[in-house]
Amino acid sequence: MAPTVFFLMLQLCLVMTQSELNIFINSSDVRGQLTQFWRNTGFCPPAPHSEAANYDLSFDMQQNLAYIGAVPFSGITHVRVHWLFELVHVESIAVNGPVYNFTELDKFVSLIHENELYLIFELMGNPSGVYTDMENKTQVYWWRDLVAQTAQRYITQYGVDYVREWKFETWNEPDCHDFDQLTMTVQGFLNYYDACSEGLKLADSSLVFGGPGDGCGLLRDSRDALYAEALFNHTVRGINYFTGETKVRIDFISLHEKGQGGTALSILTEEIVAVDAINLKYPELNGKPFYNDEADPLVGWNKSFTWRADVTYAALVVKIISQHQNMLKARDNPLIANYALLSNDNGFLSYFPNQFTQRTLLARFQMNLTQPHYVTFVRKPVYMVMGMLALLGERQLHVDISMTPSTTVSNTSDYGCISTVHEPNITVNSSDSWQQTVLIYGAPDINATVTYADLNLQWYLIPPPGVTSLKLKFYYLYNGGSNPYDAWVGLFNSTAYPTLKQFAYLRDLEDPYDSIMDVKVTAGYILLPPRFQVLEPHIILMHLCSKPLLPPEKVIKLKCMNITQGQVLIVWSDSNIHTKCLARYDVELSLNGPSGPFTKINPRHSVVTAFIYETDSESKVEGYYRVRAVDYWNRGGDYSDPVQYKVQKR
């Protein structure tokens, strides 16, 4: 849809307001660096944790991880997982300690690696329940060896460079006392911590390890966080259980500060209070990388809320990230000196009747009326926004933003903007090129009054030397459009078992609305379509690209996953593609052979590196698949090598 037509249609649907959102951006006004510190998710298998493999290795989770890995442009890179050591089993106890069977953990790590993801590996769980007391010296040494064996095993399998991208963390939220059958006193926790640290060092001294990943009691409700406080004191003044040395390493400090009352800013406020308290007691820890690896707007992943289903959740994620960038990371003297990682704990599998409304990236449908039963997913707006955020560049521009009549727009407001520039990293034989991104959002807190404003964007462009052509792509996420949940409820009566036609309709609403226009290669204000309104919730991303010398590189690592009869999930990798100026992927199928002829089967423009082909017959999906990337100038890159798909039985 042409941008002018889209904006006019949007205005006709709305009542005009007196508020005006004024934004001025100059493409040359670079103020600092921007790192994508938010590219993380996580999940926890349900109790009993001894059966974690049933969840972690299920075909539902295999699909879930495939989709997470398919967020475009590495929009999600790390997955934080509880209870991973429940995937390890003890076969016997030898003279030197337990003999472990890593088969289930091997399978899970293979899934993570296959989908080009990395682990935030919480060193928690109890293999076959063999550990009972972390004040028992024998068991403390056993634990050190378990950690060392685990790290060394995956260094051997996948290479040290891959495992160095992981982040190892302590047992989750120790002050919540969820240790299952393992006795973990405060002293036992410190022994356990030293065993983790020394075990990782035995495998590779550069592996990153921190904690405590605490979310219970720390400066909240007047309760003491005994485990967290003891750990901080131990790293500064304690004695290493194994070496006898004073002080123990901690590579990062992790806490869990979630939204209080559903307000985005409360996350940042609570983080600052907690870090101030730590720095006051332990100034030696000031400047350690800080992680909030459960920074969700509201506690309780399985609580059902409508706002978690639609663009409200996606917009809140953007606002939380923007607040952290502008109020912390972009400041010369930030209140948290080294804010390094923010994670949304939303990698769970939703369940009936809350397919859309739990804290997940995807809506899971359990199709139990068919033979055989099967599971399929629909992408939610919060999934798509992770790909939109990935379009931000590495250098942040100054943004002047205000509202009229005379309303101040601050970093705590519901409206906001981030603008960045990307300079090409590879200039020879590459599709990389100069890019500028403008991300605008309207994001009300939960249960807040919803407003909207007319956008007045003045975008002054100074093209860099050598640019021959410019294209501007618009992405729009708003509840009136890119919202499968509304259609599922309003048109299909929240059916538990959508038909193929209904699924096709829902999938047409998964991606942001998009359009592409030409921009003159001259210094001056970009001529944008007529003013339009920014609703709450609403996310608008504008991605300006200079024409690369080359079309996109070849798509690689194509694979096909059988969903059920007549349905296949095609997944591929964009890791070989250097440009983010992608209009779409073409997914093609040949029923005859690897030489063709091929027919395009994906009707929608999408840059997600996964496509589900849903038909009513096995004969329609068997054949050879190939995929190529197409850029803003409609130039197609090389096709992937064709991959044959035959009917598989799981």
Between 6 and 41, name the one with better pLDDT.
41
Backbone dihedral angles phi then psi of residue 17, each to the nearest 5 degrees: -115, 170
Contacts of 647 by beta carbon, 8 Å cutoff, 6+ apart? 562, 565, 618, 621, 622
Q: What is the mean pLDDT of residues 506-511?
A: 97
Lowest mean pLDDT among 60-64, 219-223, 271-275: 219-223
Q: What pLDDT is stored for residue 134 in this prediction?
A: 97
Q: For every residue of 345-413, which 3-state class applies, written as one string? A: CCECCCCCCCCCCCCECEEEEEECCCCCCEEEEEECHHHHHHHHHCCCCCEEEEEEEEEECCECCCCCC
Same fold, 40-364 and 556-645: no
Cβ contact 175:216 at 8 Å: yes
pLDDT at res. 221? 46
Homologous superfamily of 40-364 in CATH?
A: Glycosidases (3.20.20.80)
Least confident range of 83-97, 168-182, 398-412, 497-511: 398-412
> Given 2.70.70.10, 2.60.40.10, 3.40.710.10, 3.90.1150.10, which CATH number is that of 556-645?
2.60.40.10
User: In the β-sheet with 599-600, what is the strand arrangement from edge to edge?
Assistant: 599-600, 582-590, 623-631, 643-645
Kindly provide the residue ranges of all beta strands, DSSP E only, lying in 159-289, ordered along the sequence.
167-169, 209-214, 253-255
What pLDDT does residue 485 have?
Answer: 98
CATH architecture of structural domain 3-31+385-546 = Sandwich (2.60)
| Residue 2 CA neighbour count, 13 Å, CB half | 7
Q: How far apart are CA 260 and CA 298, in angstroms?
A: 7
Token digits of residue 554:
């070849």
Residues 6 or more apart whose CB falls under 8 angstroms from that of 427 comprise none
| pLDDT confidence tier of residue 291, bands split at 50, 70 and 90 | very high
Strands (E), 591-635: 599-600, 610-614, 623-631
pLDDT at 532: 74
- Closest by CA position to 60, among listed 348, 358, 400, 328: 348
How far is it, in rounded angstroms, from Cα 41 to Cα 79? 5
Residue 449, CA distances (Å) to 15, 364, 442, 443, 461 in order: 16, 30, 12, 10, 35
pLDDT higher than threshold 80 for residue 220? no
Q: Nearest to residue 433, comparing CAs of 582, 634, 585?
A: 582
Burial class (CB in 10 A: 0-12, 13-18, 19+), 479: buried
What band does 648 get if pLDDT is binned at 50, 70 and 90?
A: low
CA distance 511 to 20: 28
Q: Are strands 452-461 and 20-33 parallel, antiparallel or unpaired?
A: parallel
Tell me the pLDDT tens digit for each residue of 574-622. 999 999 999 999 999 999 999 989 999 999 999 999 999 999 999 999 9
d(CA 73, CA 644): 26
For 383-403, write each residue's pLDDT tens digit: 999 999 999 999 999 999 998
Dihedral sign (CA 160, 422, 475, 292) = positive
Q: How far apart are CA 1 and CA 614, in angstroms?
A: 25
* Mean pLDDT, residues 273-294 taken together: 95
pTM of the model: 0.95
The predicted pLDDT at position 1 comes to 42
274 dihedral zone (left: phi>0; alpha: psi -120 to 50; beta): alpha
Q: Tokens at residue 615, please?
A: 């038909």
What does the alpha-carbon distance between residue 362 and residue 349 come to, in Å, rounded to a whole number?
8
Q: What is the pLDDT of residue 481?
A: 84
615-628 pLDDT per residue, tens: 999 999 999 999 99
Tell me the pLDDT band of 405, cut-offs 50, 70 and 90. confident
> In the prediction, which pLDDT does 534 show?
83
**Backbone dihedral angles phi then psi of residue 98, each to the nearest 5 degrees:** -65, 145
If you average pLDDT over residues 284-290, what whole number do you get? Answer: 96
Closest CA to 559 of 629, 615, 641: 641
Gyration radius (Cα) of the chain, Å = 25
What is the pLDDT at residue 223?
A: 55
**Is 614 a known active-site residue?**
no
- Assign residue 486 a region: left if phi > 0, alpha if psi is -120 to 50, beta otherwise? alpha
For the chain, give the mean pLDDT.
Answer: 93
Dihedral sign from CA coordinates of 131, 133, 135, 137: negative
What tokens does 521 get?
């290669």
* Whether pLDDT at 15 is above 50: no
Compute the average pLDDT of residues 275-289. 95
Q: What pLDDT digit, counting tens, does each position of 177-217 carry?
A: 999 989 999 999 999 999 999 999 999 999 999 999 998 76
* Residue 468 backbone dihedrals phi, psi, to 5 degrees: -110, -20
φ, ψ dihedrals at 642, nearest 5°: -65, 140
Looking at residue 400, its pLDDT comes to 95
Domain ranges of the chain: 3-31+385-546, 40-364, 556-645
Residue 224 exposed, middle or buried by CB count within 10 Å (0-12, 13-18, 19+): exposed
**CA–centroid distance for 296 within its chain:** 12
- Reported as a pLDDT band with limits 50, 70 and 90, residue 428 is confident
Spatial separation of the C-alpha atoms in residues 263 and 422, rounded to whole Å: 32
The pair of three-digit structure tokens given for residue 320, joined into one six-digit string: 């939380």
pLDDT band at 411 (very low <50, low <70, confident <90, very high): confident
Give the Cα separation of 269 and 266 in Å (integer): 5
The model's pLDDT over 20-67, given as tens digits with 9 standing for 90+, comes to 999 999 999 999 999 999 999 999 999 999 999 999 999 999 999 999
Q: Which region holds residue 203: left if phi is over 0, alpha if psi is between -120 and 50, else beta?
A: alpha
Residue 309 has pLDDT above 90, yes or no: yes
The catalytic residue among 173, 229, 294, 614 is 173
User: Given pLDDT bands bounded at 50, 70 and 90, which one contains residue 452?
Assistant: confident
pLDDT at 447: 83
Average pLDDT over residues 358-381: 97
The answer, yes or no, to whether the previous bond of 405 is cis (omega within 30 of 0) is yes
